[in-house]
Each structure stands twice: as structure tokens, then as C-alpha cells.
Amino acid sequence: MARLHFHGHATFSITTDEGTRLLIDPFFVGNPAADIGLDEIGAVDFVLCTHGHADHFGDALTICERTGAVLISSYEIVSYAATRGVENGHPMGIGGGYDFPFGRVKMTVALHGPSVAGDGAEGFSSTPCGFLISLPNKTLYFAGDTALTMDMQLLRGLVDIAVLPIGDNFTMGPEDATRAVEFVEPAVVVPFHYGTWDIIDQDPSRFASLVGDRAQVEILEPGAHYDF
């Protein structure tokens, strides 16, 4: 059994069957929705980062330095991380995939802003992405912060569990996320990127009603998990 754990806002961890721990978009310091503090994270093997905004990239450098985790992200973000002392990086580009020991990661298209937060990051910009993570038993799609895109139709039939933003304003809202479910046809969908601040306040049960019987909607409170 593998476990998808929601840490609040856009931060998830996956513990695979074999016990590898992936941390996605780590944002603990300053995250009003975080279920744990930065010092309670424990061992991490890989940190995956979809884009450079502070609510996704915020604690990536600190965690990589503390745990020795490999940073999987865009070439630009991995290059910036190297200037901040993170040598253990694996750069990727959109559309590219790579077979890691735990499974395959493919970078998917996301339509969102390119800035990178951090000291000395002014010269860096990074095209945001999502991740298609294929573990031995299931494939997960982390859309990242994104608009609804036609490109999502390319994922139809490939995804067991889709993790989709529903907060609106900065990303898809519930209606467009429902269209994303129609495009991707996952068995399970997990909403995220809502409720952390007033500007992205949403009722996830309304999203669940919109999705209806197209997919099983798993609404995770921060600290909750979904086993697969």
C-alpha cells in the first residue's frame, strides 16, 4: 500500500510501497494550512517542485539541505537551487520523463506564472509544470498550479489519481477542474489549492457535486491521507 498524505495548501507527500518518501511542493513556514512544522517532516528522499512561487517552493531548499533529498524540478529551479548550495538536483523539462528508482516521473504542461522566489532568484524564471508520477501499481497526476488546458486531454486513460487545484483566482476553479476531470478521466480526484487564504476560498463539497459520478472525489483535510 502506498500513501498520499496532504500537508495543506499544495503540499503532499507520497510514501511508496517500498518506503521511498516523496515530498511535493513543500510549503510549511508561513503556510496557514500546514498540518506539521518544518522540523517534523522527517526523512525525505525526493522533493518535487512544480514551480518557483513561494507557496510551492518555499521550503524546498531548506528540506533538501537538511535531508539530502534529491530536488526534481525544472532546469531553471534546479540551477537556482545549486547557487544556494543544493547540489543534489535532477533537472527536467516539460514533456520529458525519467525512470527513478521509485517509478517514472514525467513533467506535464501547466499554464501559470514563471517567477522564482528566493534570495538571489531575481535572474531565474521557470515554466511551471505538473507531474505524472507512475508508481508500480498506480499513476498519479499532480496538475500543479494551472489553468484548464487542452493538453490535459493527452492524459486521458493514463491517470488513476488526479490531484487538481480548485481555488480559482490563481488557478482553475471548481468548474474548470470539473472539465479537467472530464478530460483526464481519473478514477479518483483530490482537490487542493483552496481555502488557505480568503482569495482562494472554495467549498470542496460543491466541487464533489459538480464532478458527480465522473470520479471518486477524495476531500482531504490537512493531515489526512489516502491509501492506494
In whole angstroms, how close is the CB of 96 to Mn ion at the nearest point? 23
Stretch that binds Ni ion, among 101-109, 129-137, 144-152, 158-166 (CB under 5 A): 144-152
In whole angstroms, how close is the CB of 34 to Ni ion at the nearest point? 17
Helix axes 174-184, 204-211, angle to 10 degrees: 40
Instruction: Determine the size of the site formed for Ni ion (CB under 5 A).
Output: 2
| 48-77 footprint of Ni ion as x/- string (CB under 5 A) | -----x------------------------
Place of cell 540551477: 79
Three cell numbers written together for 58: 518555499
d(CA 74, CA 92): 5
How much is the CA Rg of the chain, to the nearest whole Å?
Answer: 16
Per-state percent for the chain, helix, strand, coil, to nearest 5? 25, 30, 45
145 binds Ni ion (CB under 5 A): yes
The smaller minimum CB distance to Mn ion, of residues 45 and 145, is found at 145
Return the half-sphere exposure (C-beta side, CA atoms, 13 A cut-off) of residue 63. 33
Q: Residue 59: which of Mn ion, Ni ion, none does it interact with, CB under 5 to 8 A by kind?
A: none
**Residues within window 96-155 making contact with Mn ion, judged by CB under 5 A:** 145
Chain residues in the site for Mn ion (CB under 5 A): 55, 145
